Amino acid sequence: MLGQAVGNVADAQKTAGDLRTAYDMGEPNVDITRVMIAAQKSSVSFEALTQVCNRVVKAYEDIMTMPV
């Protein structure tokens, strides 16, 4: 599940980068609104993934420090 989430974030970042490049190249069907929305989606998804990873690591650390 975590691997799929990483793949989704990578796809969102690639899409944002492709749209940014297309806008910079002057593509007529790409407007700044689409570029900014894609960039924000990729940023939010990356932040969410980072938070999930931090919580998984914290849970692992808590489990490892539990007395047996």
Mean pLDDT confidence for 27-38: 94
pLDDT at 1 over 90: no
Does 2 or 12 have the greater pLDDT score? 12
Of 25, 22, 43, nearest to 34 by C-alpha is 22
Which residues form the domain of 17? 2-64
pLDDT band at 45 (very low <50, low <70, confident <90, very high): very high
Q: What is the mean pLDDT of residues 43-61?
A: 95
Domain count, the chain: 1
The pTM score is: 0.79
Greatest extent of the chain over all pairs of C-alpha atoms, in Å: 64
Q: Which of 48, 45, 59 is nearest to 9 (CA)?
A: 45
Assess contact for 27 and 43: CB atoms under 8 A: no
**Mean pLDDT value across residues 15-20:** 96
